[in-house]
Structures are given as C-alpha cells and as structure tokens.
C-alpha cells in the first residue's frame, strides 16, 4: 500500500449504456460494495437519447443498493461523446444526443479536413457544428455544451469541468499543454464567424482537468439530488468518460499498454509512444486521464444483439419448464461456443443494431446468414455471435498493426469477459496478441472511476498515475493471460473474409428494409 492513504472509502459512479453503476472501494483499493440500475436509450424522432430525469432516479437506486457510508471522495463517469446543449441558465435546449447517433456525417467530414485531425461523428464538436449547419433553433441560445459525465458533475458540484480523457472526446487535445488544441479552437472560431452564429468556442466548452486534481466538492444542492446519501463537502475527481475509467481499471495508462472494453459498445484504447503516420477515419485520437495520446478504435455495436438472442433463448427454456437465470444462460451459451468450428462453420452474424461509422453505416439491421453447406449448430451460432461483437474492432486494430504499433499488454474488461476464457480467447485470435484479464474484469468503469477518486486523495504522495496503479493498486493482482491460438487465428481470419462480404448484404438490408 502507498504512503499516507488518507481516505476510508472512495465511490465511483458510471452512467453506462445499459446500467448506472456505483462501486465503492476501501483504502486497499478493493471493491467492497456496489449497486446498479438498469436503463436503456430510446429512439425518438430518429435520435438515440436518454431522459435526464431518469439519471437521478437511476443514481439514487444504484446508491441505495451500495453501502456509501463513510465515503470520503467520489467521481462521475459516463458514456463518452454526445451532445448536451444548455442556455446560460443551464436549461436543456434539445434532448440529449448520445454517442449512438450517426447523424453528423457532414460536420465530421468538414471538421476533419479543417483540423487535419480525425473528428468522429459521435464527438461533441461534430454534433455542435452539425446543429449549426442545420440552422437549428437552439443555436442562438447556446451557452454551454458538455457530456453526460460533465452534466452530472456540474449538477453535483457546481463546477463546469471534465477530465482530459473525457474532454478528448469533445474537442481535440494538445497533450503537451493538457488542454484543448489552441490552433484548432482558433480555426473553429473563424468558422463560426463565417456562419454568423455568435459562438465563441472557448466560452462554450467545459474546463479541462487532469487526473489527480480536485474538481470541486459536493454541494448541498447536489447532495439533495442524491437523496442526501453522501455528505456535502466531499471532494470529486474530474469527471471521466468510460474510456478513461476503462484504462484506469485495467492498468493501461502507460505507452505500449492497451485495453479493450466490451459491453454495449466495444472499443480499444492503445497508449502510443509516437504519432501515427497519417489521419485514419477508423482511428480516434484521444488521451489517458493524464493527457497521454491514445489511439482509440470505437465500435457502436457489441453485445446488444447477443443479449437479444439470449432473451429469446431464455424464453425457449421457459417453455419447457426451465428457470435458468440470465447469468447462467449467458455462461452456458458462451461456453457452448467453444465447441464450435474455428471459422463458425460458415454461419455469419451481423450484430448492427445501430449505425457503425468505421464501416460507414448510418443504421443497422441485425441478421444471421448461412448457406446449405453451413454447419448450423448452436455452438457455431453462438460462436459467430461472439465473433461479430469484435469483428468491426478488428478492422481498426489491423490498421494499428500495419502502423507498427507495439502492444506489450492488452487487457480485456467488461461484460464480454465475465465468463472465463471465452471472450479472452476470441479477442486474442482477432488481435493476434496476448490478452490479459484481471480478477476485476467485470468491474469496469465505476471501479476505474473509484480508483481515480482515490488517486486524487493521494496523488501528491503517489507520483504519476502509472506509479500509483503499479505500486498501489495492481501490484499483487491476480491475472489470467491467454496467447492467441494458431487455429483460432486462422479461423477468425477466414470468418473475416466472409464478414466483409456480409457487410454488402447488410448495406442492402439497410437500404431496402
């Protein structure tokens, strides 16, 4: 344990795509209590959104299930990106637009060319500029834009700021200065002047803070929003995105390390020691919670389609009087997939429920395709479902491999890795790299956010974030490392050949159904 640990418990909260989760750690950095609340996005007027009123209901239910007594520090994390627009009095101007939306193609393309820096569709600045291009009614009243984590943090502390990792999904970051890129800010201001819309981007964006700094304290009003479950006055860490908390939770914040977070969406985060040779539309450049450059491959679709299949198969079990709980059903189906052929026997699955920017889809149509020669078994069907969760990710990872990016350590976390071996085995085959899973693999974002809150409490004594994680948190952590199996690698490569052709069928389905 590090020196002068001056807290009893730290709380990490994450507003994820399907659950709002709370995780409490003790002074040994071990998870000791947790709670959650299930929610989901709604597709309203062709916009993926969440009702912000449900944020507070979900937070309170998650905290009710966790033991948050004696919490000395806390932090908020949430889904990165998206668009929350407010007027000067912090009144919401339009419904929350989440990362799932692929409605900013024109803006993203123009900004990528203007900045000579890849701006994905889901980034906050792309949403803002698209609203300007659309001449939306709310633009003249716009005073603030932020993310879901930034909004919740502001409501609880009164501080309009985000962590640098979260900020890197709002607007490009200058890692040397640990702030938004000044030259790009100037370019955007010039663009706004041309559009005569009155926006001065530096006034609109939240402040940028790095890990280890305090980002305000819980106010009386904030405590009331949480049902007075936390004490007013406790310090809050800079709010981070799920990418930054995932890196922290897997000790993947140093150059040469990386992690893959796999749940509703799937993304890899590879910390770089040098810049890529050119701009790739498939690769987002973001940062660690301390500002180091990170290559991010982000895919909108991961386990949602698998979840839908498990629900249907669970209904089938109940027809015959079975009452397996959902967790057991997932485990059994994941394990069954190991009996399948390495290439899934010709059974193909496209898991696109939402659009997918990497492969240029604005919408999705989940599908299963096979031919008369396919070996259509339950094992091959479930294996194909699981391959499909990381097939699009592999496209971006192959680009990084072509760039010569070296990955010394790739750690998996999130729901895909809860069942031992399975997700780890398939990711190793897809990325052609050893994959590590920690015993905390299922903890994910809220655990990482709790660690960032703990780091804030002892940063002065603990050194860099990397030192804090290595020397205090993960020094004796149990890990499982799996190297890629040659047969699996060949099988996944064969699957990918068919998967690329399957996307042509998917495109036809989107256009005709």
What's the sign of the alpha-carbon dihedral 95, 99, 104, 107?
positive
Question: What are the tens digits of pLDDT across the range 135-174?
Answer: 999 999 999 999 999 999 999 999 999 999 999 999 999 9
Contact 352, 366 (CB under 8 A): yes
Q: What is the pLDDT of residue 476?
A: 85
**How much of the chain exceeds pLDDT 90, in percent?**
83
CA distance 84 to 95: 7
Domain ranges in the chain are 9-249+440-473
Q: What is the pLDDT of residue 363?
A: 92
Q: What is the pLDDT of residue 470?
A: 92
Which of 62-66, 97-101, 401-405 is the most confident on average? 62-66
The alpha-helical segments, DSSP class H, found in 66-181 are 105-115, 124-133, 148-157, 164-167
Average pLDDT of the chain to the nearest whole number: 94
Question: What are the tens digits of pLDDT across the range 294-332?
Answer: 999 989 899 999 999 999 999 999 999 887 788 899 999
pLDDT at 12 over 50: yes
Contact 18, 39 (CB under 8 A): yes
Question: What are the tens digits of pLDDT across the range 424-478?
Answer: 999 999 999 899 998 765 567 899 999 999 999 998 888 999 999 999 999 888 8
pLDDT at 338 over 60: yes
Contact 139, 199 (CB under 8 A): yes
Residue 20 is encoded by which pair of tokens?
């709002």
CA distance 461 to 472: 11
Question: What are the tens digits of pLDDT across the range 212-258?
Answer: 999 999 999 999 999 999 999 999 999 999 889 989 988 999 998 99
pLDDT at 76 over 50: yes
Question: What are the tens digits of pLDDT across the range 371-398?
Answer: 999 999 999 999 999 999 999 999 999 9
Q: What is the pLDDT of residue 55?
A: 98
Q: What proportions of the chain, in percent to the nearest 5, are helix, strand and coil?
A: 40, 20, 40
B/e letters for 53-78, b = 16+ CB within 10 Å, e = fewer, are eebeebbbbbbeebebeebbbbbbbb
Q: What is the pLDDT of residue 1?
A: 40
Give Rg (Cα) of the chain: 22
Neighbours of 483 (CB within 10 A): 11
Closest among 465, 468, 479 to 411, alpha carbons compared = 479
Write down the pTM of the prediction.
0.84
Q: What is the pLDDT of residue 100?
A: 87
Closest among 428, 349, 346, 423 to 394, alpha carbons compared = 428
> DSSP readout, 338-362?
TTS-TTGGG-EEE--SEEEGGGTEE
pLDDT at 73 over 70: yes
pLDDT at 261 over 90: no
Superfamily, domain 9-249+440-473: ATPase, nucleotide binding domain (3.30.420.40)
Q: What is the pLDDT of residue 2?
A: 44
């Amino acid at each position: 344990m590090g020196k002068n640990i001056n807290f009893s418990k730290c709380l990490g909260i994450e507003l994820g795509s399907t659950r709002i989760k709370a995780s409490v750690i003790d002074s040994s950095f071990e998870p000791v209590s947790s709670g959650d609340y299930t929610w989901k996005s709604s597709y309203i007027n062709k916009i993926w959104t969440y009702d912000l009123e449900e944020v507070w209901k979900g937070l309170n239910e998650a905290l009710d299930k966790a033991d948050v007594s004696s919490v000395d520090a806390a932090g908020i994390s949430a889904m990165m990106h998206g668009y929350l627009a407010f007027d000067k009095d912090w009144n919401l101007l339009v419904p929350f637009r989440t990362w799932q939306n692929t409605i900013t193609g024109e803006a993203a393309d123009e900004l990528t060319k203007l900045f000579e820096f890849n701006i994905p569709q889901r980034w906050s600045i792309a949403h803002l500029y698209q609203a300007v291009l659309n001449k939306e009614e709310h633009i003249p009243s716009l005073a603030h834009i932020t993310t879901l984590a930034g909004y919740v943090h502001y409501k609880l502390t009164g501080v309009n700021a985000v962590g640098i990792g979260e900020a890197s999904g709002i607007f490009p970051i200058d890692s040397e200065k640990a702030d938004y890129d000044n030259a790009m800010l100037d370019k955007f201001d010039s663009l706004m002047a041309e559009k005569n819309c009155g926006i001065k981007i530096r006034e609109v964006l939240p402040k940028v803070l790095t890990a280890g700094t305090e980002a305000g304290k819980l106010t009386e009003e904030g405590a009331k929003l949480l049902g007075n479950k936390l004490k007013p006055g406790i310090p809050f860490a800079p709010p981070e995105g799920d990418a930054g908390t995932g890196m922290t939770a897997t000790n993947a914040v140093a150059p040469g390390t990386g992690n893959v977070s796999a749940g509703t969406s799937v993304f890899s985060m590879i910390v770089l020691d040098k810049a890529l040779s050119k701009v790739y539309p498939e690769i987002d450049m973001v940062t660690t919670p301390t500002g180091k450059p990170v290559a991010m491959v982000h895919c909108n679709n991961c386990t949602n389609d698998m979840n839908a299949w498990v629900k249907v198969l669970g209904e089938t079990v109940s027809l015959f009087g079975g009452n397996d709980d959902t967790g057991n059903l997932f485990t059994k189906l994941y394990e069954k997939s190991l009996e399948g052929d390495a290439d899934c026997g010709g059974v193909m699955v496209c898991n696109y429920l939402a659009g997918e920017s990497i492969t240029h889809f604005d919408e999705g149509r989940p599908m299963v395709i096979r031919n008369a020669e396919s070996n259509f078994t339950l094992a091959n069907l479930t294996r194909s479902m699981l391959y499909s969760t990381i097939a699009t990710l592999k496209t971006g990872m192959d680009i990084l491999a072509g760039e010569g990016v070296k990955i010394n350590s790739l750690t998996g976390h999130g729901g895909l890795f809860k069942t031992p071996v399975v997700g780890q085995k398939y990711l190793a085959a897809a990325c052609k790299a050893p994959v590590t899973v920690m015993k905390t693999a299922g903890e994910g974002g809220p655990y990482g956010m709790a660690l960032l809150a703990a780091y804030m409490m002892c940063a002065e004594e603990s050194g860099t974030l990397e030192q804090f994680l290595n020397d205090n948190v993960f020094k004796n952590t149990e890990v499982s490392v799996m190297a890629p199996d040659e047969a699996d690698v060949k099988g996944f490569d064969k699957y990918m050949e068919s998967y690329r052709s399957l996307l042509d069928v998917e495109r036809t389905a989107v256009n005709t159904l």
